[in-house]
């Protein structure tokens, strides 16, 4: 009896711990069942070793009900092992128990009781209530993903009602601030850095609020408006992210921006968008939403931006490399250990020099967009120049620091993409004081072109780095084959299973003067 009670309690505990993990992955996939389903297929989580072991234990326990001691021992051991394993696992982005997360978890638990309790009742009739409950609890673990799907689907009407109420509240707040200048920023990449740079520059002249962190969804913007936006704010900078067509329009319908920045249109999130044309269409939803007296600021360095005609609003084009049709350009770019010097040229003979602590062409491009908007909003040039010189690097976005041991770290670990990775490798290639080392798991969410683009990434590594440490199996073969395809390569290749292993490898090889580039860090959903 005691063993059966223990086995039942541990089996229930086992699936509750698994429920929290399922909920974490559902949360990282924006509570969208279709995205969660894609993660399940990509991760092969439904056929994991532990689930196969659990299935074996379930079958063994059912076959030994005449001698329940054996089955209960098996259930106790496997449940305890799984509880310990899951409890000790560390995640880069752990579950945040928001009110929505609590609602989903409680619903999952209620649904699980609908399975476990009837099993116990059936078992009671044959004298094995606890044994039946323990077996049912393990089956709940095996099918835990279905409970996540079901709970999320059942709560849709509730979440829609709550979200609609929050939406109306945010609308009311924004209507009460008719003089608020609203700047929308979107792009395949560069939008977060541009947001931070623009915020720093405009803060020299205005009282500014920007969406914090990665609050770049509709609900993230709503939360910012309700919790952070103040009546005295003069400018509201809204970062707008998207995973599918209509996402940007949805945010614009709420905030009604008068200035829109499109930083890039490139090959990112192709798995959800399907094509780069759909990416272009979605990013330009911001421009399409601007009023007739608004201003669009778009980056002509990207073909899918340069080729998009804009006639509904004044459009200012900027560029660092493709400068032929751009109204504003950054030129005379020089790099030094202290940062970057560049000149902004624009209409009416504008030619202003700037110095920044930032490095890399991508950062110059993002600064250029921010400078243009600041100029158009009436910020004096001297204030802009001062702010640019004081801008700090955004964490994990081509930020550079030196260790006490004389090693330079280039941190570009946030969400790598084909264009950004090339620029990061260009910066690495400029570092000549010692060996150039890259640590990377490659790039994700590139749809059918993922293997091709990671192979091209490998070819770029081959001529830009001296040592390449490829982390994980997700893109390993493509990157390594790309490196090895370059006959003149200089890169020595190492492959490791985890980021922790890469750090142990680095600790034994680093010396003063070396530079290490961390290019991307895959989220938990790709582990």
- Using CA atoms, how far apart are residues 476 and 75, in angstroms rounded to an integer? 37
- Using CA atoms, how far apart are residues 191 and 115, in angstroms rounded to an integer? 47
pLDDT digits (tens, 9 = 90+) for 449-482: 788 888 888 889 998 888 999 988 778 888 988 8
Q: How many CA atoms lie within 13 A of 5 on its CB side?
A: 2
Average pLDDT over every residue of 318-330: 92
Query: In Å, what is the CA distance from 148 to each residue of 16, 20, 101, 107?
Result: 12, 10, 11, 9
Residues whose CB falls within 8 Å of the CB of residue 331, separated by 6 or more in sequence, listed in order: 323, 342, 343, 345
Query: In Å, what is the CA distance from 323 to each residue of 212, 266, 355, 365, 423?
Result: 32, 18, 21, 12, 18
Please indicate whether residue 521 or residue 131 has the higher confidence score (pLDDT): 131
- Using CA atoms, how far apart are residues 525 and 515, in angstroms rounded to an integer? 29
User: How crowded is residue 194: how many other Cβ atoms within 10 Å of its Cβ?
Assistant: 30
The dihedral built from the CA positions of residue 230, 236, 237 and 241, taken in this order, carries a sign that is: positive
pLDDT attached to residue 342: 96
Rg (CA), the chain: 27
The two three-digit tokens of residue 34, written as one number: 């279709």
Query: In Å, what is the CA distance from 6 to each residue of 76, 79, 80, 114, 137?
Result: 7, 10, 10, 21, 12
DSSP characters for 336-382?
Answer: ETTEEEEEEEEGGGEEEEEEES--SHHHHHHHHHHHHHHHHTT--HH
High-pLDDT (> 90) share of the chain, %? 49
Comparing CA positions, the residue from 167, 133, 123 lying closest to residue 255 is: 167
Query: In Å, what is the CA distance from 337 to each residue of 392, 427, 430?
Result: 15, 12, 11
Using pLDDT thresholds of 50, 70 and 90, give the confidence band for residue 320: very high
pLDDT attached to residue 527: 46
pLDDT digits (tens, 9 = 90+) for 74-100: 989 999 988 998 888 877 678 889 899
For the chain, which residues make up each domain, given as ranges?
Answer: 2-154, 174-390, 399-526
Position 53 pLDDT exceeds 70: yes
The two three-digit tokens of residue 270, written as one number: 């192709």
CATH class of 174-390: alpha beta
Using pLDDT thresholds of 50, 70 and 90, give the confidence band for residue 489: confident
Contact 324, 308 (CB under 8 A): no
Strand pairing category for 259-262 and 181-186: parallel
Torsion of CA 248, 249, 251, 257, to 10 degrees: 100
Using pLDDT thresholds of 50, 70 and 90, give the confidence band for residue 394: low
Residues whose CB falls within 8 Å of the CB of residue 21, separated by 6 or more in sequence, listed in order: 86, 89, 95
Using pLDDT thresholds of 50, 70 and 90, give the confidence band for residue 269: low
* CATH number, domain 399-526: 3.90.190.20
Q: Is 212 helix (H, G, I), strand (E, B) or coil?
A: coil
Using pLDDT thresholds of 50, 70 and 90, give the confidence band for residue 398: low
pLDDT digits (tens, 9 = 90+) for 333-366: 987 767 899 999 999 899 999 999 888 788 899 9
Using pLDDT thresholds of 50, 70 and 90, give the confidence band for residue 524: very low
Average pLDDT over every residue of 251-270: 88
Residue keyed to tokens 């792009």? 187
- Cα separation of the two ends of the chain: 40
Using pLDDT thresholds of 50, 70 and 90, give the confidence band for residue 526: very low
Using pLDDT thresholds of 50, 70 and 90, give the confidence band for residue 370: very high
Average pLDDT over every residue of 221-226: 96
User: How crowded is residue 293: how many other Cβ atoms within 10 Å of its Cβ?
Assistant: 8
- Using CA atoms, how far apart are residues 243 and 253, in angstroms rounded to an integer? 17
Q: Can you say whether residue 87 is alpha, beta or left, with left for phi > 0 and alpha for psi between -120 and 50 degrees?
A: alpha
Judged by average pLDDT, the poorest of 108-112, 144-148, 243-247, 345-349 is 243-247
pLDDT digits (tens, 9 = 90+) for 161-200: 999 999 999 999 999 999 999 999 999 888 988 999 999 9
User: 519 phi and psi, to 5 degrees?
Assistant: -110, 100
- Using CA atoms, how far apart are residues 340 and 364, in angstroms rounded to an integer? 8
pLDDT attached to residue 395: 62
Average pLDDT over every residue of 386-394: 88
Contact 470, 495 (CB under 8 A): yes
Using pLDDT thresholds of 50, 70 and 90, give the confidence band for residue 32: confident
Q: How many CA atoms lie within 13 A of 162 on its CB side?
A: 10
């Amino acid at each position: 009896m005691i063993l059966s009670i223990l086995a039942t309690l541990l089996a229930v505990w086992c699936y509750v711990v698994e429920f929290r993990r399922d909920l974490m992955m559902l949360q990282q996939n924006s509570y969208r069942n279709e995205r969660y389903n894609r993660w399940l297929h990509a991760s092969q989580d439904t056929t994991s070793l532990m689930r196969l072991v659990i299935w074996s234990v379930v079958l063994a326990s059912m076959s030994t009900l005449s001698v329940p001691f054996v089955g209960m021992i098996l259930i106790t051991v496997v449940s305890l092992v799984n509880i310990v394993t899951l409890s000790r696992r560390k995640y880069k982005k752990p579950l945040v128990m928001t009110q929505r997360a609590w609602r989903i978890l409680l619903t999952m638990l209620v649904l699980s009781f609908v399975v476990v309790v009837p099993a116990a009742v059936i078992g009671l009739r044959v004298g094995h209530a606890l044994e039946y409950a323990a077996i049912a609890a393990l089956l709940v673990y095996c099918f835990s993903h279905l409970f996540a799907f079901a709970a999320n689907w059942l709560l849709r009407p509730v979440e829609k009602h709550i979200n609609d109420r929050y939406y109306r509240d945010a609308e009311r707040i924004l209507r009460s601030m008719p003089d608020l200048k609203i700047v929308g920023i979107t792009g395949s990449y560069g939008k977060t850095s541009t947001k931070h740079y623009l915020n720093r520059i405009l803060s020299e002249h205005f009282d500014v609020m920007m969406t914090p962190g990665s609050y770049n969804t509709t609900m993230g913007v709503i939360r910012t408006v309700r919790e952070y936006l103040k009546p005295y704010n003069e400018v509201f900078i809204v970062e707008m992210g998207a995973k599918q067509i209509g996402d940007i329009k949805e945010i614009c319908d709420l905030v009604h921006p008068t200035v829109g920045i499109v930083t890039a249109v490139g090959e990112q999130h192709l798995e959800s968008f399907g094509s780069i044309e759909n990416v272009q269409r979605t990013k330009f939803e911001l421009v399409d939403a601007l009023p007739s007296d608004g201003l669009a600021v778009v980056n002509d360095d990207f073909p899918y931006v340069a080729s998009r005609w804009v006639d509904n609003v004044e459009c200012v084009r900027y560029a660092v490399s493709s400068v032929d049709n751009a109204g504003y350009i950054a030129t005379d770019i020089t790099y030094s250990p202290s940062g970057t010097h560049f000149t902004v040229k624009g209409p009416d003979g504008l030619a202003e020099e700037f110095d920044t602590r930032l490095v890399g062409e991508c950062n110059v491009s993002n600064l250029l967009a921010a400078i243009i908007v600041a100029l158009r909003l009436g910020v004096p040039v001297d204030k802009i120049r001062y702010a640019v010189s004081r801008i700090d690097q955004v964490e994990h976005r081509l930020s550079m620091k030196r260790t006490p041991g004389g090693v330079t770290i280039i941190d570009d670990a946030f969400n790598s993409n084909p264009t950004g990775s090339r620029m990061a490798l260009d910066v690495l290639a400029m570092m000549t004081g010692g060996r150039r080392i890259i640590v990377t798991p490659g790039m994700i969410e590139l749809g059918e072109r993922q293997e091709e683009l990671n192979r091209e990434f490998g070819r770029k590594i081959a001529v830009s780095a001296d040592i390449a440490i490829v982390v994980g199996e997700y893109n390993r073969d493509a990157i390594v084959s790309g490196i090895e395809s370059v006959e003149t390569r200089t890169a020595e290749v190492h492959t490791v299973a985890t980021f922790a292993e890469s750090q142990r490898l680095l600790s034994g090889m680093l010396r003063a003067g070396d530079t290490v580039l961390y290019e991307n860090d895959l989220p938990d959903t790709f582990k």
